[in-house]
Amino acid sequence: MFSLFKKEKFKIVSPLDGQLILLKDVPDSVFSQKLMGDGFAIIPQSQVVVSPISGVAESVFPTGHAVGIKTKDGIECIVHIGLDTVELNGEGFTSLISQGDYVKAGEPIVQFDNQFIKDKGYNLTTMVVFPSGYEKDFNLGEREVKKGEVLF
């Protein structure tokens, strides 16, 4: 059967410009010990986070520091901006999407004030973890990445 809608191939893109690091090197045991799932982290050099995958925004935290996205195939992804940034109660973060929105890989989802958050003493390392549905090796090494760059 002919379809006007071409099935989008699954991909994971970098959510930010910055330095890609291994999850084990994140200075927070919840992430470094992969308690929330495997993935990767980026030390950001930009202030707009794009969705690493295409799917539905299942959870958009009111504090703006984290977003959970799920693909139609059940792959779950959490983007968590910074360490302990939930303590800012949303200060410095602006959600660009709402819960239930469909987002495409590379589409802006959150904007944050890099300098404000750093001045408050928070580490902005951003984690991208996959709690379920995606069992691949995330050993991407350490390198500079660009927002929207295809990693997988």
Residues labelled as active-site residues? 80
Amino acid letter for position 113: D
**Which of 91, 106, 140, 115 is closest to 16 using CA atoms?**
106
For residue 114, the cross-strand partners are none
Specify the DSSP class assigned to residue 7: P
User: CA-to-CA distance for 58 and 11, rounded, in angstroms?
Assistant: 18
Q: Which helix (H) or strand (E) holds 115?
A: helix 114-119
What is the pairing mode between strands 66-70 and 18-22? unpaired
